[in-house]
Chain A
């Protein structure tokens, strides 16, 4: 895997890769290394690993550890080959390898979203075909951003790529299932938002009394089921 290292202040390195699949593969490898008894020193010096769409932030507690992290991640990435990595359980390629114990979450969805008709028109399918495309492929959580527990899902049917709404809504209800660009997502809490809404789920995605509070975490596999 090829990586580009970009500066991000005195306490972090931003690692740029080709896509979300590579981000997940690198994050998986870092977690696997970090879990070992004999984890390399540079891995142990990481305070935080934050995945995003095409970049991964490696934050250290001590600025002096940055050079070792830069060197270490280049070596680690060179040893990874995403293209030939296995994809368990018939998972779509390009959404990361996934550890054997990768959790799978099934979300039942009522497909009555306010933008369902618009989405169908935008991508030239009928509404039923949108639902079939959305439920017909496995998604995987690439990263979390925007709000606590808001998971950016990747690996869905490529026909579902739609632009964001021209004008964001001031309030999107919790549980709304949406699409934006190459990503799928579900609003964990009521918030403003510009995603195209196709349905809703009753499943609680963010619960402070749960540990961890986010049901969906980077790497989690997600399947949607039409109610």
Chain B
């Protein structure tokens, strides 16, 4: 059976698929690739099902060695990728022969690269998914040098796409579309969320992207009020006591006790998951 051996990892390399939906009532969130669109694009490049597992590589630094022939494709953050030291294309099927080394470097734009693997990574599934949920501690452990990842049987169909274009590097502020949240009325100034300019905090992770900016104050009626735990969704903008919003990502908690004042559109949560620290963000009201 073909496999990928892990020679080196950067800050964080996780096995991810599209997660385990439908278990929130048991306290288990969906998890899955933080940039779902990038994971799906990799599946298209390799002409395979989107549900197969690949890697989510945070800030590069990952070296893998093929055992047997393995075909892969890199999507997500625009990062340099090479085979045995020779640069190969982003967003294209790359065939690795037995013993060849694939290196994923530091992204030039975005933070999370996705390595789709033809046939998928065949590590044990937990509750129907191979995703690592960093909050719940479910699924495959983060990769370490020496790990060997078995590769599943490749699909019959050959890839048809030669290459897809890398994402355009954003210039200026990221614009995110937001619909009102269930507790939008808890804000003292209902327009504060969409008039302020926010900055992505370095304390952002798969649980949520923390935004820093002018503290969002509470309306007088809701000051010192406790909110009973409410169900959360990916994209929910929760405002803790310090007034600095958190946009929940793939590994968000199933319930939370701070007011949700808005919800970021799903595709924009993908883009936000690629935002570097210090990136400026503007939230714009979406009209249905």
Q: Is A12 an interface residue (CB 8 A)?
A: yes
> Chain A nearest CB: distance from B121 CB in Å?
19
Contact: A7 with B233, CB < 8 Å?
A: no
- A208 to B136 Cα, complex, angstroms: 13
- A51 to B229 Cα, complex, angstroms: 10
- A7 to B183 Cα, complex, angstroms: 9
Could you say which residues of chain A place their CB within 8 Å of the CB of B137?
Answer: 189
Contact: B179 with A52, CB < 8 Å?
A: no
B247-278 interface code vs A (CB 8 A; 1 in, 0 out): 00000011100001001111000000000000
Contact: A146 with B27, CB < 8 Å?
A: yes
Contact: B127 with A213, CB < 8 Å?
A: yes
Q: Is B28 an interface residue (CB 8 A)?
A: yes
Q: Give the number of chain A interface residues (Cβ < 8 Å).
A: 37
Contact: A145 with B254, CB < 8 Å?
A: yes
Could you say which residues of chain A place their CB within 8 Å of the CB of B189?
Answer: none
Closest-by-CB residue of B relative to A14 is B182
Contact: A50 with B254, CB < 8 Å?
A: yes
Closest-by-CB residue of B relative to A55 is B230
Known: A8-B236, A14-B182, A143-B255. A48 touches B229 (CB 8 A): no
- A145 to B254 Cα, complex, angstroms: 6
- A189 to B27 Cα, complex, angstroms: 13
Contact: A208 with B127, CB < 8 Å?
A: yes
CB-contact partner of A7 in B24, B181, B253, B265, under 8 A: B181
Could you say which residues of chain A place their CB within 8 Å of the CB of B229?
Answer: 52-53, 143, 145-146, 152
| Complex interface residues of chain B between 216 and 231 (CB less than 8 A to chain A) | 228-231
Contact: B25 with A49, CB < 8 Å?
A: yes
Q: Is B107 an interface residue (CB 8 A)?
A: no
Contact: A150 with B233, CB < 8 Å?
A: no
Contact: A51 with B136, CB < 8 Å?
A: no
Contact: B235 with A214, CB < 8 Å?
A: no
- A208 to B125 Cα, complex, angstroms: 11
Q: Is B126 an interface residue (CB 8 A)?
A: yes
Could you say which residues of chain A place their CB within 8 Å of the CB of B179?
Answer: 7, 9-10
Contact: A10 with B266, CB < 8 Å?
A: yes
Q: Is B26 an interface residue (CB 8 A)?
A: yes
Q: 8 other contacts beyond A144-B26, A149-B26, with CB at 8 A cut-off?
A: A7-B263, A9-B266, A14-B230, A50-B25, A52-B228, A55-B228, A145-B255, A149-B27
Listed A/B pairs (24) with beta-carbon separation below 8 Å: A7-B180, A7-B182, A8-B231, A8-B233, A8-B263, A9-B181, A11-B233, A11-B266, A12-B233, A14-B230, A47-B21, A48-B25, A50-B255, A52-B230, A59-B24, A145-B229, A145-B255, A147-B136, A148-B26, A148-B28, A148-B138, A149-B26, A208-B127, A212-B26
Chain B residues with CB under 8 Å of chain A are 21-22, 24-28, 126-127, 136-138, 179-183, 228-231, 233, 235-236, 253-255, 260, 263-266
Smallest CB-CB A-B distances: 5 pairs: A145-B255, A9-B263, A57-B231, A6-B182, A53-B228
